[in-house]
Amino acid sequence: MSQENEKIRPEVHVLKKRQDFLRVAATRKKWVSQSMVVQMAASPDEIIPPGAEEAGLIRVGFTASKKVGNAVMRNRAKRRLREVARKILPEEGRKGFDYVIIARDKLPSQAFDQLIRDFKWCLKRLHADQKPEKDKRERPSGLKRGA
């Protein structure tokens, strides 16, 4: 058995209920790129089925407003977002979190590689905010403010 097969990939489920989209938006944790907005929130405990923590559960939802274009353009944008999420979230996403990806008006004209870079960047920034906060302005001991 190879190393890749031994590594457990988290399951990615799709958010479908409006209530879930509103809950993720209410956390106000988001990162904006040229082509998309990525929002993130911890999954509620009652949503995660027993034993899913071991396998890993990530949920994601997709949105495209009329600003993106007509119905054809919005559906195309969501298809592209679904493919980006399918490729990136199992490796880059965090277990026990919900993500909402919102298409922006520039998404249909962006190259697919750029969409992947944008999504990875957004995830990196969102996950950086989740780490324990450390005072970035720490001074070496003995130095006082204004010195």
147 residues of the chain, pLDDT tens digit each = 445 544 566 678 888 999 999 999 998 899 999 999 999 998 886 555 555 555 568 899 999 999 999 999 999 999 999 999 999 998 888 888 899 999 999 999 999 999 999 999 999 998 887 654 444 444 444 445 554
Q: Which residues contact 20 (CB under 8 A, 6 or more apart)?
A: 59, 61, 98
Let me know: does 110 contact 34? Beta carbons within 8 Å.
yes
For residue 135, tell me if it sits in a domain: no
For residue 98, tell me if it sits in a domain: yes
Distance CA 23, CA 40 (A): 10
For residue 1, tell me if it sits in a domain: no
CATH number at residue 86: 3.30.230.10
For residue 59, tell me if it sits in a domain: yes
For residue 8, tell me if it sits in a domain: no
For residue 145, tell me if it sits in a domain: no
- pTM score: 0.76
The predicted pLDDT at position 135 comes to 43
Domain tally for the chain? 1
For residue 69, tell me if it sits in a domain: yes
For residue 4, tell me if it sits in a domain: no
Distance CA 11, CA 129 (A): 23
Distance CA 94, CA 40 (A): 10
Instruction: Give residue 39's domain range.
Output: 14-126
Any idea what DSSP says for residue 52? H
